Amino acid sequence: MSSVKGLELWVGGKQLSVLAPTWVEIQAEVNQIPSARLVLSIADNALAKAEEEVALCKPGSEFRIGAKQGSTLFSGILVQQSMRLQTGSSELTLTIKHPLQRLTASLRSQVFMDAKEEAILRELCSAQGIAIKKLEGVDATHPQMVQFACSDWQFMAARLRANRVWLVPELDSVSVMKPVLARQANHTVYKDGKKGPGIEEAEWQFSCQEQPKQLAVSAWDLPEQVMSRTATPALLSIGGEALDPGKLAALNSSTWLLANSQPLTTEEQFALANARWLAQQTAGIQGRFTLEGDAKYQLGQTLALSGFGRSFDGSALITGVQHHFSEKRWRTTLLIGQPLSHDVDAAVVPRASGVLVGVVDSYQEDPGKLNRLRVKVPALMQNDKPLWARFATPYASQESGLCFYPEPGDEVVVGFFADDPCYPVILGAMHNPKNLPPFPPSTENNQKGLVFGQGDNKQLLMFDRQEGSATLQVHKDSLTLHQGMQLASEQDIALSAQNLTLNAKQQVKVEGKSGVQVKGAKVDLTN
HEC states along 209-262?
CCCCCEEEEEEEECCCCEECCCECCCCCCCEEECCCHHHCCCCCCCEEEEEECC
- The answer to whether residue 1 scores a pLDDT higher than 60 is no
How confident is the model at residue 508, as a pLDDT?
87
Q: What is the band of 44 on the pLDDT scale with cuts at 50, 70, 90?
A: low
How confident is the model at residue 154, as a pLDDT?
98
Coil, strand, or helix at residue 414? strand
pTM of the model: 0.91
How confident is the model at residue 521, as a pLDDT?
86
Q: What mean pLDDT is predicted for residues 394-412?
A: 95
Would you say 106 and 100 are in contact if contact means Cβ atoms under 8 Å apart? no
Q: Kindly state the DSSP code that residue 299 receives in the 8-state scheme.
A: T
Beta bridge partners of 42: 90
Rounded-to-integer distance, Cα 295 and Cα 332, Å: 8
- The answer to whether residue 15 scores a pLDDT higher than 80 is yes
For 349-385, the pLDDT digits (tens) are: 999 999 999 999 999 999 999 999 999 999 999 989 9
For 288-302, the pLDDT digits (tens) are: 999 999 999 999 999
For 409-466, the pLDDT digits (tens) are: 999 999 999 999 999 999 999 999 999 999 999 999 999 999 998 877 889 999 999 9
Q: Kindly state the DSSP code that residue 379 receives in the 8-state scheme.
A: G
Q: Which own/partner pairs from 424-433 qualify as long-range (CB within 8 Å, at least 24 positions apart)? A: 424/358, 424/375, 424/377, 424/387, 424/388, 424/389, 424/390, 425/389, 425/390, 425/391, 425/392, 426/358, 426/360, 426/373, 426/375, 426/389, 426/390, 426/391, 426/392, 427/355, 427/392, 428/392
- Distance separating the N- and C-terminal Cα atoms of the chain: 129
Q: What mean pLDDT is predicted for residues 47-76?
A: 88
Helices 117-127 and 152-161 pack at an angle, to 10 degrees, of: 150
- The answer to whether residue 3 scores a pLDDT higher than 80 is no
Would you say 305 and 312 are in contact if contact means Cβ atoms under 8 Å apart? yes
- The answer to whether residue 277 scores a pLDDT higher than 90 is yes
- Per CATH, the number for 102-177 is 3.55.50.10
Q: What mean pLDDT is predicted for residues 473-480?
A: 90
Class of domain 7-97: mainly beta
User: Picking from 45-49, 137-141, 180-184, 191-195, which range would have the lowest pLDDT averaged per residue?
Assistant: 45-49
Phi, psi (deg, nearest 5) at residue 236: -125, 140
- Per CATH, the number for 356-395+404-430 is 2.40.50.140
How confident is the model at residue 46, as a pLDDT?
67
521 Cβ contact list (under 8 Å, min separation 6): none
* Mean pLDDT estimate for the chain: 93
For 325-334, the pLDDT digits (tens) are: 988 889 999 9
Percent of the chain at pLDDT above 90?
79
- 276, 279, 270: which is closest to 229 by C-alpha? 270
